């Protein structure tokens, strides 16, 4: 299971249109090696809740993998926290970042312009960051760190002091790895479009955060487990 935002049917918004335009650019470069997500599938992962069985009990997979600790996740407490936290609502700003501007934060040590679009393993990703009351805030990272109180470890909190404040949207996946020249050409084509993008803001509230159960990473047929009462 995962806690995700914006999964499923979506009201029209400029961000989804931009994403589909970028998907078109990607397809024009790598053709059927690109497996795009449809609008329904595209989402931002808040935190993964994957588990495994160990010693007859269900434990958090990331705690076991990263810290070799057996922690039993407490989903009811997580959902109660989600309903009460003041971290939401906030705005996710995607695009519009300029290399010459200091935005008071970096993402994995890189300027947000350089992180707006990336290829990570087989995933093609567009990123944005939380913004509230005219300031960039660490709300997503704060929420992810708070989840340790419920026996849930964020997969990118893999070392002391690790920060992951990214809102990342997977646009699709590669059928096979790209050769270096094609990869560079693809990044160049997309970044030229991103340089002309003035940015898009999307409200992230409790109402569009859902707990889902899935069998495939694509979330093509994921089941929304907990949308009510948020």
Position 230 in a domain? no
Residue-by-residue DSSP string for 162-220: -----EEEEEEEESSPPPHHHHHHHHHHHHHHHHT---EEEEE-GGGEEEEE-SSTT-T
* Range of the structural domain that residue 48 is part of: 2-220
Position 225 in a domain? no
pTM for the complete prediction?
A: 0.92
Average pLDDT across each block of 10 residues of the chain; the chain has 230 residues. List them in order. 93 95 98 96 95 92 94 95 94 96 95 97 97 94 97 94 96 97 97 96 94 82 68
Number of domains into which the chain is organized: 1
pLDDT of residue 221: 74
Position 149 in a domain? yes
Domain at 56, CATH number = 3.90.1140.10
Position 226 in a domain? no
């Amino acid at each position: 299971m995962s806690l995700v935002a914006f999964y499923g049917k979506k009201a029209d918004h400029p961000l989804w249109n931009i994403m589909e335009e970028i998907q078109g650019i990607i397809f024009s470069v790598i053709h059927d090696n690109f497996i795009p997500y449809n609008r329904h599938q595209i989402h931002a992962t808040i935190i993964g809740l994957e588990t495994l069985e160990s010693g007859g009990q269900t434990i958090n997979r990331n705690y076991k993998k990263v810290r070799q600790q057996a922690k039993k996740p407490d989903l009811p407490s997580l959902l109660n926290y989600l309903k009460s936290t003041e971290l939401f609502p906030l705005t996710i700003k995607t695009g519009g970042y300029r290399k010459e501007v200091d935005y008071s934060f970096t993402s994995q040590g890189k300027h947000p312009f350089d992180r707006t679009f990336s290829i990570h393993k087989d995933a093609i990703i567009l990123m944005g960051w939380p913004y509230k009351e005219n300031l960039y805030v660490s709300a997503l990272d704060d929420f992810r760190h708070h989840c340790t109180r419920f026996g849930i470890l964020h997969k990118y909190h893999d070392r002391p002091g690790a920060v992951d404040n990214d809102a990342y949207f997977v646009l699709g996946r590669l059928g096979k790895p790209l050769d270096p020249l094609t990869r560079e050409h693809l990044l160049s084509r997309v970044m030229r479009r991103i340089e002309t993008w003035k940015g898009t803001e999307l409200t992230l509230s409790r109402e569009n955060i859902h707990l889902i159960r899935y069998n495939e990473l694509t979330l093509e047929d994921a089941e929304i487990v907990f949308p009510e009462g948020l």
